[in-house]
């Protein structure tokens, strides 16, 4: 069976490659969903979901230095390998050469939001298999993440606990302790669906969030 590989290249001017194509993971399953950020030293940290266990997708991470050489365990470090599927990872720098990763997690049956911090050496720092940020009734989707400016993160998501989809957020501090309201702060619970949130740091420990909003029925607005 052809093994599809997650590859990462860095290009210089005029499309000249500074790195050789760097294979950081291999899997016989369909190409994984991945996200990446700069590591602050000319390299990058990549996270992805992978069907390595032959039962479910899990979350892995790898760091590449400025020369494109992998820095962590061969094939990546395990961020979460809990029961059932983990998917759609997103990440942000922890400000110390590592990253905070958020993902959607089906370990309890419904899909919920979890997060984990991986330090500069590739070692998970919080509760094994991640800290629960939201386990409210029904399922969550579309999780996005930004830095809180203090080694932690703010995560936003599309939430199905009500009669329609709404937007919620929660902060997790540098030690992996969830902050704010249990299962998240409601940012918008207007009628009908609010979906596809995006988030950016406000530079003062908070965040600015945008989303698509169907409260007026005719069309989605921002």
Note the pLDDT tens digit of each residue in 9-32: 443 232 234 455 555 665 555 556
Let me know: does 166 contact 185? Beta carbons within 8 Å: no
Q: Using the predicted structure, report yes or no on whether residue 107 has a pLDDT greater than 60.
A: yes
Lowest mean pLDDT among 3-7, 90-94, 143-147, 197-201: 3-7
Residue 116 has pLDDT above 50, yes or no: yes
CA 153 remoteness from chain centre: 11
- Cβ(118)–Cβ(79) under 8 Å? yes
Residue with the larger pLDDT of the pair 44 and 52: 44
Nearest CA to 144 out of 121, 162, 124, 169 is that of 169
158 - beta bridge partners? 141, 167
- Domains of the chain (ranges; CATH) run 30-213 (2.120.10.10)
CA atoms of 149 and 177, how far apart (whole Å):
15
Please give the sequence-ordered ranges of beta strands (E in DSSP) within 40-98, or none if there are none. 44-50, 58-64, 77-80, 86-93
* 3-state SS class at 13: helix
Nearby residues of 207 by Cβ (< 8 Å), 6 or more positions away: 146, 148, 154, 156, 169, 199, 200, 201
pLDDT above 90 as % of the chain: 81
- In a 10 Å sphere around its CB, with 0-12 CB exposed, 13-18 middle and 19+ buried, how is residue 10 labelled? middle
pLDDT for 124 beyond 80? yes
Contacts with 137 (C-beta within 8 Å, 6 or more apart), sequence order: 110, 161
pLDDT tens per residue across span 162-221? 999 999 999 999 999 999 999 999 999 999 999 999 999 999 999 999 999 999 987 898
Separation of first and last alpha carbons in the chain: 45
């Amino acid at each position: 069976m052809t093994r599809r590989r997650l590859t990462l290249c860095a290009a210089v001017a005029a499309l000249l490659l500074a790195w050789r194509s760097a294979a950081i993971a291999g899997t016989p399953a369909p190409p994984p969903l991945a996200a990446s950020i700069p590591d602050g030293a000319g390299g990058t940290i990549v996270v992805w979901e992978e069907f390595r266990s032959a039962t479910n997708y899990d979350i892995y991470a790898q760091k590449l230095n400025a020369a494109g050489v992998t820095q962590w365990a061969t094939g990546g470090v395990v961020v979460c390998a809990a029961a059932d599927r983990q998917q759609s990872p997103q990440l942000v720098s922890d400000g110390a050469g590592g990253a905070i990763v958020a993902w959607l997690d089906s370990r309890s049956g419904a899909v919920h939001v979890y997060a984990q911090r991986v330090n500069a050496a590739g070692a998970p720092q919080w509760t094994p298999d991640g800290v629960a940020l939201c386990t409210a009734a029904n399922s969550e989707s579309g999780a996005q993440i930004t830095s809180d400016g203090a080694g932690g993160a703010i995560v936003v998501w599309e939430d199905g606990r009500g009669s329609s989809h709404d937007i919620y957020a929660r902060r997790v501090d540098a030690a992996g302790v969830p902050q704010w309201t249990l299962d998240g702060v409601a940012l918008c619970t207007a009628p009908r669906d609010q979906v596809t949130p995006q988030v950016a740091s406000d530079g003062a420990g908070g965040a600015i969030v945008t989303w698509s909003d169907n409260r007026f029925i005719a069309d989605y607005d921002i």
